[in-house]
Amino acid sequence: MPLLAIESSCDETAVAIYGKSSSSDNNGLLASLISSQIELHKDLGGVVPELASRNHTQRISPLVAEALEKAGLGAQEIDAFAATGGPGLASSLTVGHSFAKGLALAAKKPFLSVNHMEGHLLSPFVGEEQIPPHLALIVSGGHTLLIRVRLVGDYQLLGQTLDDAAGEAFDKVAKMLELPYPGGPEIEKLAKTGDPTAFDFPRSMLNENNLDFSFSGLKTSVLYTLKKLPNPRERLPDLCASFQAAVFEVLIAKALRAARREKLSLVTLSGGVSCNATLREQLSAACHEEGLTFRSSPPSLSTDNAAMIAFAAYHRLRAGQTSSLSTDIDPNLKL
Ligand code: KG4
Ligand code: ZN
């Protein structure tokens, strides 16, 4: 049952083909290609929507052709087409969504419009037939969410950021420290040789009895600290390690609080920030200590990719769901 999915919600054009087959030894992924636009936006300090959508338009057709070739399939052998319908940048979403609808129309096959956050949410399970009940922590560039998952499609939002997303805080702090875009991996690299206790940055909302987050105060605190330092460049590793520690302490404490409160024994981590090995190790250790099982999306499926979109579409299709060809994108789509 090969299914082709396109992801184009931000600055990665991605195409994946998912379907259990005897020749597939990669969790059912027959192809998963990502064409990153990072180089294009790097010197501009962030994603420029107009540039991003024009670039998706250029890259999408060759990437679909390459994915089909890699999977050894013709377009007529694909049984369903999917694309990210939101949330994301409107002009970027439109490219992949319209392209997938066109492919579905031409092939007379079902179309599925997929929520990008559902893709992240299910990414720790790619290749599996059953999604167990669990507590999901999704940490990406646009979202920080704690979600109770009962089964595919039954999601309860328990907590979220009230201002900046965790990844957004990484990117903004990296910009202050004059590190290249995207900031998350740069901060992780520098933090490796820094002291996480060197600066006592605030742990916002840590002691409030809720499951929400706030990272904008932390960002401001880094800025004030930076202004007071005579040679901030010499303290980059310590600044990065201390900033990271402040973000992760709150994420981990609230994820565990949520799991305890909801009596869930499985905790998952996904989204771009879950690429960070320190976060994965610390959350894993904290879960272990509490007797909880921990799963993270593999790093290759943590940042934006189409494999997670194909996988979410696969489960929706299995549940008998499809989307109409008149389905529109929604830049603010909620889970
Ligand atoms: O999930 P994603 O690729 O895109 C969104 O849906 O937003 O997440 C991108 C975010 C960026 O903010 C990036 O800085 C962050 O993930 N990120 C990291 C790391 N790798 C990517 N943050 C911390 N450590 C990393 N290693
Ligand atoms: Zn994402």
- Residue-wise DSSP of 101-165: HHHHHHHT--EEEEEHHHHHHHGGGTT-S----EEEEEE-SS-EEEEEEEETTEEEEEEEBSSS-
Instruction: Show pLDDT as tens, one digit a residue, over the chain (335 residues).
Output: 899 999 999 989 999 999 975 555 688 999 999 998 878 777 777 788 888 999 999 999 999 999 999 999 999 999 999 999 999 999 999 999 999 999 999 999 999 999 999 999 999 999 999 999 999 999 999 999 999 999 999 999 999 999 999 999 999 999 999 998 889 999 999 999 999 999 999 999 999 999 999 999 999 999 999 999 999 999 999 999 999 999 999 999 999 999 999 999 999 999 999 999 999 999 999 999 999 999 999 999 999 999 999 999 999 999 999 999 999 999 999 99
CATH code at 134-296? 3.30.420.40
What's the Cα-to-Cα distance from 144 to each of 121, 137, 140, 141, rounded to whole Å? Answer: 11, 7, 6, 8
Q: Is the peptide bond before 124 cis (omega within 30 degrees of 0)?
A: no
- 120 annotated to a ligand binding site: yes
CATH superfamily of 3-126+304-318: ATPase, nucleotide binding domain (3.30.420.40)
Residue with token string 């904008």: 216
Rounded to whole angstroms, the Cα distance separating 154 from 23 reads 32
Candidates 273, 265, 193; CA nearest to 234 is 193
Tell me which long-range contacts 258-265 makes (C-beta under 8 A, separation of at least 24).
258/135, 258/146, 258/148, 258/158, 258/159, 258/211, 259/135, 259/287, 259/290, 259/292, 260/290, 261/158, 261/211, 262/135, 262/148, 262/158, 264/133, 264/134, 264/135, 264/148, 264/292, 265/291, 265/292, 265/293
Q: What is the Å distance from ligand 2's center to 89 Cα?
A: 11
Q: Closest residue (by CA) to atom 14 of ligand 1?
A: 184
| Shortest-distance atom of ligand 1 to CA 88 | 6
pLDDT of residue 118: 98
pLDDT of residue 47: 81
pLDDT of residue 23: 53
Could you say which ligand is closest to the alpha carbon of residue 144?
A: 1
Every domain of the chain and the residues it spans:
3-126+304-318, 134-296
Q: Closest residue (by CA) to atom 13 of ligand 1?
A: 184
pLDDT of residue 21: 57
Tell me which long-range contacts 229-233 makes (C-beta under 8 A, separation of at least 24).
232/177
Q: CA quadruple 36, 42, 48, 54: dihedral positive or negative?
A: negative
pLDDT of residue 6: 98
Q: What is the Å distance from ligand 2's center to 287 Cα?
A: 24
Say whether 134-296 and 3-126+304-318 share the same fold: yes
| Shortest-distance atom of ligand 1 to CA 183 | 14
Q: Closest residue (by CA) to atom 16 of ligand 1?
A: 272
Q: Is 87 exposed, middle or buried (0-12, 13-18, 19+ CB in 10 A)?
A: buried
Probe ligand 1: pick from 123, 168, 170, 181, max atoms within 8 Å of CB? Answer: 170
- 276 annotated to a ligand binding site: yes
Question: What residues flank ligand 1, with Cβ below 6 Å?
Answer: 10, 140-142, 167-168, 170-171, 182-185, 188, 271-273, 275-276, 303-304
pLDDT of residue 194: 98
Helix (H, G, I), strand (E, B) or coil at 13: strand
C-beta of residue 145 within 8 angstroms of C-beta of residue 167? no
| Shortest-distance atom of ligand 1 to CA 117 | 6
The interface predicted TM-score (ipTM) is 0.99
- 142 annotated to a ligand binding site: yes
